Amino acid sequence: MRTVPLENGPVAIVGALDFDRSPTGISPRRLPAWTRPQIPDIFMNSMVAMASGVRLAFTTDSDSIELDVMATTFRYSTMVARPPLCQLVADDATPVDAVVESANYFVLDPIDPTNIGFEPGAPATLRFDGLGAASKRCEIWLPQTASVELQALRVDGRADVAATPSDGRRRWLHYGSSISHCMEADGPTSTWPAVAARQAGIELFSLGLAGECMLDHFVARTIRDQPADAISLKLGINIVNGDTMRERTFMPAVHGMLDTIRDGHPTTPILVVSPIFCPSVEDQPGPTMLLADGTFGAIPGERESREGALTLRRIREILNDIVATRRDAGDLRLAYLDGLDLFGAADVDDLPDLLHPNNDGYRRMGERFAALAFGPGGHLQ
């Protein structure tokens, strides 16, 4: 087999705006380099490095493809590790799986967040065989659960590799929380944004950042500066999870994010999406925590009596008011979608930890979003 360059060649790394480089390879990052000094902590930095929505795109007639990777992820000390998964999609066919059998693991203590262990792994070679000799558009989707150092890409010795020409697909940029990052999905093409994008026939750029959808201005500026034919912002759950804002600060922060994005996208359709169902904080403010039974719940206390403390029900009211009342008269390309239309109380059987949907729940969310946003009369048409 022969090696194909990962940079300055025919391979595009879609969904990445920056890279970490080492003597052994390159690691995609989903925010641009100028944001690095503004990223507040190591947890957000690790979410930016996780490859949700990132994929390698190229066209080849090779019957076999190999990819060498060094993946780094985490697991809780109370849980069995779930190996990262890559998936190859050729000409929009059914994804082909390749498990990353060896990876680095940070081991987290669910009770004591300062107690972090490390289990070193080794590079893994992923191989996709039997792809046929015809020319095909290939996308290798990287694991949404891990950061990945890309070390080498190989094809058959006589195979051609070319850049994939544009097919005119619309580019959709989505920003959200762990429920958009979708670590619980079975694989990278099973995240609900990927499901929606594949069903609607559009190109996804994902800024689903687990635990970090905090309306950060550097993210708003990133969205402002990126080309996009449609933009969606799924806001609110992390604000309640962390109890990071009150009503007084949340509303102006949402307006500020929309104003910044509009500076670069004056006519692009934008959809503001409120939180999906989360039983513990529908009517009680956060913060939430991981409980001994493996579910997430609100921390009991007096927070519900604090002035301006936010619940999910109030978040939905505020977002609807911002879009429908305060901005609608001057922004006809801005719309609101109630997150309960994507995943509501009737779907709770697919909410095993009472915060994050399982794979079936994410699939249903993606199908519903595709219809509501990109179907006939959809919000992002």
> Following CA atoms 25, 30, 36, 38 in sequence, which dihedral angle do they give, to the nearest 10 degrees?
-160
What residue ranges of the chain are covered by domains with CATH 3.40.50.1110? 171-374
- pLDDT surpasses 60 at 303: no
Instruction: Pull the structure tokens for residue 329.
Output: 């008269």
Model pTM? 0.95
- pLDDT surpasses 70 at 305: no
How far is residue 56's CA from residue 161's CA, in Å, rounded to a whole number? 12
Q: What is the mean pLDDT of the segment spanning 353-368?
A: 98
* Top-confidence residue, 113 or 92: 92
How far is residue 238's CA from residue 193's CA, in Å, rounded to a whole number? 18
Q: Which band of pLDDT confidence, cut at 50, 70 and 90, is reported for residue 307?
A: confident
Cα–Cα nearest to 275, from 206, 344, 194 = 344
What residue ranges of the chain are covered by domains with CATH 2.60.120.260? 2-162
- pLDDT surpasses 80 at 73: yes
Q: Which of 274-296 are b and which e, b meaning 16 or more Cβ less than 10 Å from the residue's Cβ?
A: bbbbbbbbbebbbebebeeeeeb
* Top-confidence residue, 325 or 142: 142
Cα–Cα nearest to 195, from 209, 180, 212, 207 = 180
Task: Provide the pLDDT for residue 92.
Answer: 87
CATH fit for domain 2-162, picks 3.40.50.10710, 2.60.120.260, 1.10.3720.10, 3.30.2000.10: 2.60.120.260
* Top-confidence residue, 290 or 28: 28
Backbone conformation region of residue 202, classed left if phi is above 0, alpha if psi is from -120 to 50, else beta: beta
Task: Provide the pLDDT for residue 302.
Answer: 47
CA terminus-to-terminus distance, the chain: 44
Q: What is the mean pLDDT of the segment spanning 268-286?
A: 96
How far is residue 277's CA from residue 261's CA, in Å, rounded to a whole number? 27
- Which positions ≥6 away from 355 have C-beta within 8 Å? 178, 179, 237, 241, 278, 288, 295, 296
Condensed to tens digits (0 to 9), the pLDDT of residues 156-193 reads 999 999 999 999 999 999 999 999 999 999 999 999 99
What are the respective helix, strand and coil percentages of the chain, to the nearest 5?
30, 30, 40
CATH number of 171-374: 3.40.50.1110
How far is residue 105's CA from residue 112's CA, in Å, rounded to a whole number? 17
Condensed to tens digits (0 to 9), the pLDDT of residues 218-246 reads 999 999 999 999 999 999 999 999 999 99
